[in-house]
Structure 1
């Protein structure tokens, strides 16, 4: 099943690529806001399945600016670092033996299309699979973890490397939380949409040049193991967002290093979900 946040309203994307406004079709039984629906996720899926044959608005008719982040106001945002061995190698760091965890502040989250303001410094790209929690819990076993996932989407963990490296300790969360540094979308796809949810292609390009391409099968800690390990420490809540790490190909790992500049077009994709498109623009001086 695929869902979308269209003009701040939750819509089902049918098998015929038509959009069904779930709140409208159910007479207000569900909130139109997708974030409100994660607390009733199992119930929502049952109802959405009955609407799959309903005629709706063609997905192709939706303007890009209407697409929003499918998890716009999570209570918790987790991000996993160095979760691909080749990315750890390009960063000249060892492959971690346990999760490397930081956060992106919720104000950095954004939709899948539009512009991203470029702050001073050296801004890098990081394509990531984003997992969104549907059923919360603690001590979730890895062999059942996918059943706790509402769905997956594609995200960018944009990073300002100068700030990240400043100070006696790395500033991961601050450097990755400028406005627009956490776009997610355009769709949320439930795990059963994939032949193997642990093996999905992802990548990104800049001005038409592919700079990253990988598979989630190369994760050091696959999504179920991430969920199991996080939930040993803290309860996961419905609607929580997990950025699961990036494959190799980031700018800081290149020779010479390369970073985003005003005017660049950044295209980010996850097979089965779609692609995001963003134009990088200079940040207005305050």
Structure 2
């Protein structure tokens, strides 16, 4: 299933896209796409609904973050060897992770707003993992059983805040609008092999990032298992799993986002985001 939340910010309704790519309303079946819907039993029940009986949604409404009530937004850093090389860092021996403030969550096509004083705001297309079942000290073998599904994430990052203002990556990761998620939450049963998904990102129509999740240093199963050793993962939590090469930081000359830029990014089978970069309002 391709689950979505659509409508004005703060007023989103639950929906899904059918096999023909048409948006259908789910509000007569579920109250929202949230933690109560993400467990295996609830998703199996939802999958039994006859999609053809759901009302079609007219027009092209705004899509919001596909999960409501996200508690934690965890990022994995340096998880593609080519990206590690372009940043001049050393290959990690264990997953590197950080937190993105949930206040940075943004709809997939909503504007990305440069923070005040931004000099080096960068892009990062990533695979997002949405937790479906409470996970604590789970093994790698069973880790994917705790996943509800997957989505596209843009781990927008202000590099000057990240690297030039002390050692706290979080400073550059959690600015408002720095966490576009969606368009869909694609349930785990509809993703054949999470370690074989193509990723891409274009800036102003020019391809910047091309990758595949097969190049991850640490797999999704390894990541979920590892993070669950250090914190309990709850339904609705998101882990974004690292970016392939091609970020602005790693280019020669370096290229960072500015007002008026447009981004187009996506992952095979998980949909696409398109966003404009805007300045912080005066």
* 1:9 paired residue among 9, 13, 36: 13
- Equivalent residue number for residue 99 of structure 1: 95
**Which string of whole-angstrom CA distances, capped at 9 and with x for unpartnered residues, describes residues 49-96 of structure 1?**
22144333457x44252x110134311111000000110000111110
User: Gapped runs of 5+ residues in structure 1?
Assistant: none
Moved more, 193-202 or 82-91: 193-202
- Equivalent residue number for residue 139 of structure 2: 141
1:259 aligned onto 2:256: yes
Q: CA shift at 1:202, angstroms?
A: 0.9
Q: CA shift at 1:233, angstroms?
A: 1.8
Q: How does 1:1-286 map to 2 (within 5 A)?
A: 1-7=1-7, 8-24=12-28, 26=29, 30=30, 32-38=31-37, 41-58=39-56, 61-65=58-62, 67-119=63-115, 120-169=118-167, 171-285=168-282
User: Gapped runs of 5+ residues in structure 2?
Assistant: none
Sort the Cα spacing of 1:17 and 1:51 in 2 relative to 1 into closer, same or farther, 3 A: farther
Sort the Cα spacing of 1:44 and 1:9 in 2 relative to 1 into closer, same or farther, 3 A: farther
d(CA) in 2 for partners of 1:36, 1:197: 22
Runs of 4+ in 1 over 6 A off after TM superposition: none
Asked if the contact 1:73/1:106 (under 8 Å) is kept, the reply is no
RMSD over aligned Cα, in angstroms? 1.7
d(CA) in 2 for partners of 1:200, 1:255: 27
d(CA) in 1 for partners of 2:32, 2:276: 27
d(CA) in 1 for partners of 2:94, 2:191: 27
How many residues are treated as equivalent by the alignment? Answer: 276
SS in structure 1 opposite 2:174? coil
d(CA) in 2 for partners of 1:56, 1:34: 16
